[in-house]
Structure 1
Amino acid sequence: MRISTSMMFERSQNAMQGRQSDLSKVGEQVANGKRIVSPSDDPRAASQALIVKQDQAVQEQYKDSRVTANNTLSLQENTLNSMSDLLTSAKGLIIKGGNGTYTDSDRASVATELEGLYNQMLGLANTRDSSGQYMFSGSQGDVKPFETSADGTVEAYAGDTQPLNMQVDASRSMNVNAAGSEVFKVPATKGGDAESDLFKVFEKAIETLKTPQTAENQDELRADLDQANRRIDSGSDNILSVRSAIGSKLNELEVLGDIGDTRTISNKIALSDLEDLDYAEAISRYTLGQIGLEASQKMFMQTQQTSLFSLIR
């Protein structure tokens, strides 16, 4: 086949442009620090990298959910820890108020202290989280769980008991809400006391302490205070049980967080293997590319100067 001058010119030009394109691609890889600048550089690796990135994005979502769940549960745990301390103080006051040597004035003074704890308990029960939602309203965070009536007593629980689930891992959905009706309830006691709630227990104890003591009602008042103590013990045990459940969830979140961190590290290593550039190898290719480009440019220049007339002397 006859090779014309124009064909030689075109081939030399294509060779030079190809070298320029290869050199430009290597330069772009070095500048970005990535072996895959566009999917066409390595379609298989680019596809695998996309899968890893998608999994990494999902893991980040789970991580955010775990952080939110941890913050919510930690606040609940701290609040209930305060409740436990409050109930311990309340029991001490009720025992003190049952002292047979106390006068009505002394008992009234104890009742005033107990009222202070009662108001503190109501404040804890209506605690809001960092987003302004009521913590003990179940899934209805915008509803105040415990309102007071005109006579100062606490009305019935206004929230719900629906779970508020958060997806904290691929196969784990965790309920992070707390229904005040369950948290502040007083289970039936072994002494035969019916189920109640802590607000009613406090209200009854305060009323008892404010009632003037006589020879006729002395035994009844003492029995009422004994019952208040039993119910406070039952309520304390219930709160301890709730705190235990919260603690188990916090421990689980910590384990899931460690697993998630391991996945994140594995994904980063996988992405690095797929995408990161071997600088030594890339610079070597860049140097060879420069040599090849210079050679192709020289050949192109020689081709431009080649003609039939240049051979005639």
Structure 2
Amino acid sequence: MRISTSSMFEAGTSQLGTLQSQMAKTQQQLATNRRMLTPADDPIASARALEVTQAQAVNTQFATNRQNVRGALALEESALAGATDVLQNVQTLAVAAGNGALNQADRNGLADQIASHREELLALANSGDGLGGYLFGGFRSSSPPFVRSAEGIAYEGDQGVRQIQIGGQRQIPMGDPGSAVFLSNPTGNGSFVTRADPANGAALVVSAGSVNNAAEFARDNYKLTFAVAAGVTTYTITDGQNVAVPPPPANAAMPFVSGQAINFKGMSFDVAGSPADGDVVTVGPSTKQTVFETLDKLIASLRAPASDAAGRARMTANLAEGGVNLASALDGVLSVQSSVGSRMAELDNLDSSGEDLNIQYAATLAGLQEIDMVKTISLFTQQQFTLEAAQKSFKALSGLSLFNYIG
């Protein structure tokens, strides 16, 4: 079979081109540490690598979101810790105000200190979020949520809770609205409120009490009226319709013992002191009261005159009520603070699992995309030898011509 010179040159150059192309591809794989230089190299692996890369990008965004949430929650936790300190200090002052040896000037001084703490609490309630907004404004975070008004401190935020995605199936609140922290504090024990009538002639201390039988508990307004006759103190109980509670036996009056539990309608509380004839203790449903209202009422109680028995009785009743409501406000702040701590702990757990996912994604991508370095270097060396051998053989073959022997 005769092979023309042109055919020989075409075949040789084509083969050399193929070998050079293969060697160039291997060299590019070594330079980039990538097995697939184009999707055509391995369509299935390329598609899988794209899925993994997208999942890795989403996981990275979740990590960024968690970092943003952690910053916001750290600011909120700091503000709540400050509010806790303020309320605990006010509780200490309220207890000190009950000292019977204090005069009006002393009580005015305590009221001034509580007023200063109220301003401190207001500043904490208007804490910034570090981004030009306010922590406790809900969705309306561009302006201070708590402002002074004719009625006291008013809330101008809303009840919105900003949520952010921190995991595939998890959204978490970035903060809490001020309404949930400072406004929704239940009065009394959360179920009912006990209070000595400010018009009483004797200083009575009424405990907050508790519900000891939920099945019998009925939300209504009740009144305990004390009577003193021949040195014996008794009391009767009536409801909001002035009906005796419980239904009166032959003698509706019940003997009173200071500090002894009084039980009716599923409620239990005690009254300490020596009631005067006609003194009254009221029991009513618990309502919501802002922490600022609690502080304002406490300040007003301390500044009110208490020079006579009636004034001292009124102050004692107001301080007892204020102390219970302060405890409720503090419990509310601590509850939110606990929630913030739980969320931050969840962020730490998700960060740990997110880092594990990143390691898995990186390992999967390495298996799909990266080359076996030793194997690829061996292949490159083999291709280099093959190309050199092909070049030498082509040179020798192209030198075989009949014209070289015609002289």
Match of 2:300 in 1: 207
- Distance in 2 separating the partners of 1:162 and 1:195: 19
Kept in 2, the 8 Å contact 1:12–1:303? The answer is no
Map 1:249-288 → 2, pairs under 5 A: 249-288=343-382
The aligned residue for residue 235 of structure 2 is none
Of residues 172-181 and 298-307 in structure 1, the stretch that sits farther from structure 2 once superposed is 298-307
Query: Partner of 1:140 in structure 2?
Result: 140
3-state SS of paired residue (2:144): coil
Counterpart of 2:389?
295
Residue 158 of structure 2 aligns with an amino acid whose one-letter code is D
Aligned partners of 1:163 and 1:82: how far apart in 2?
A: 22
Does structure 1 conserve the Cα–Cα contact (< 8 Å) formed by 2:49 and 2:365?
Answer: yes
Aligned to 1:34: 34
The verdict on how the C-alpha distance between 1:81 and 1:3 changes in structure 2, with shifts beyond 3 A counting, is same
Pick the aligned partner of 1:239 from 333, 336, 339. Answer: 333
Counterpart residue number, 2:289: 196
* 8 Å contact from structure 1 (residues 189, 195) kept in 2: no
3-state SS of the aligned residue for 1:136?
coil
- Would you say 1:181 and 2:275 are equivalent positions? no
- How many residue pairs get matched? 311
Gap regions ≥5 residues in structure 1: none
Q: In 1, distance between residues paired with 2:379 and 2:299?
A: 87
Distance 2:361 2:405 in 1: 64
Counterpart CA distance in 2 for 1:55 and 1:13 is: 46
- What's the RMSD between the two structures over aligned residues? 1.8
Q: Aligned letter for 2:124?
A: L
The aligned residue for residue 111 of structure 2 is 111
Q: SS state of the match for residue 166, structure 1?
A: strand
Task: Please identify which structure carries the higher strand content.
Answer: 2
**Secondary structure of 2:149 counterpart:** coil
Q: Whole-Å Cα distance in 2 between the matches of residues 298 and 264 of structure 1?
A: 50
Question: For residues 99 and 333 of structure 2, what CA distance do their matches in structure 1 show?
Answer: 28
Q: Is the 8 A contact 1:33 1:276 kept in 2?
A: yes
Identity of aligned residues (%): 33
Comparing both structures, which one devotes a greater share of its residues to helix?
1
How far is the alpha carbon of 1:170 from its aligned partner? 0.9
Query: What is the letter of the counterpart of residue 24 of structure 1?
Result: A
Alpha-carbon separation, structure 2, partners of 1:225 and 1:132: 39
Q: Distance in 2 between matches of 1:2 and 1:148?
A: 107
Distance between the aligned counterparts of 2:287 and 2:52, measured in 1? 57
Letter in 1 for 2:180: E
The answer to whether the 8 A contact 2:76-2:175 is kept is: no
* Secondary structure in 1 matching 2:131: coil
Counterpart of 1:164 in structure 2: which amino acid? R
Q: Any conservation in 2 of the 1:184–1:235 contact (CA below 8 Å)?
A: yes
